[in-house]
Amino acid sequence: MDKNRPYLLPIVIITGILSLDIFTKYLIVMNFGFGDRIDFIGGFLRISLVYNEGGVFGILQGHKNLFLIISIVVLTLMVVYYVLERNKSALFSISMALIVSGALGNIIDRLVPGRPGVVDFISIGVDGVYRWPSFNVADSSIVVGAFLLIIVFYREERKRKIAGNE
């Protein structure tokens, strides 16, 4: 990681993912109504407009403001953690940027006046067997970032164990 510009990579990632998230949500809201859908791969991948008024995977529907507050608190903690972390590897910076950009995308969505909830539009699964809850670019970014962060923590723990055995 460039020691002189430790925030450049995260800012580029956050700007890119947040822009993609806002743009795709805008396209869906402008071009889809309830019940409209486009199926790909025999319906395995479906694009349709869904408003999530709850949290992750649609839990606690109708508690939009509760999840807005939780999201802001978690986002704040993530940013503080990133700023205070001394060992900012490139993978750590990428993972944190993905999580932050996804959180920002969903927070912005909850703040749009008149919008009943977060715009979700990607659905994967087989009808009658299992269909994953609808999600969006921000959700995908958070999941990928969290997975990468687990890898970062695993690597750090491995380094500590190796250093302790020498």
What is the C-alpha to C-alpha distance for residues 127 and 39, in angstroms, rounded to an integer? 12
Which among 21, 36, 120, 127 is annotated as catalytic? 120
- Under 8 Å between Cβ of 102 and 71: no
Give the integer Cα–Cα distance in Å for 145 and 37: 28
Q: How far apart are CA 88 and CA 102, in angstroms?
A: 20
Active site residue 139: yes
Active-site residue identified among 21, 39, 109, 139: 139
Half-sphere exposure of 88 (CA within 13 A, CB side): 21
Catalytic: 21? no
Unique residue bearing structure tokens 């993530």:
78
- Residue pair 33/49 in contact (Cβ under 8 Å)? The answer is yes
Task: Please identify every residue annotated as catalytic.
Answer: 120, 139
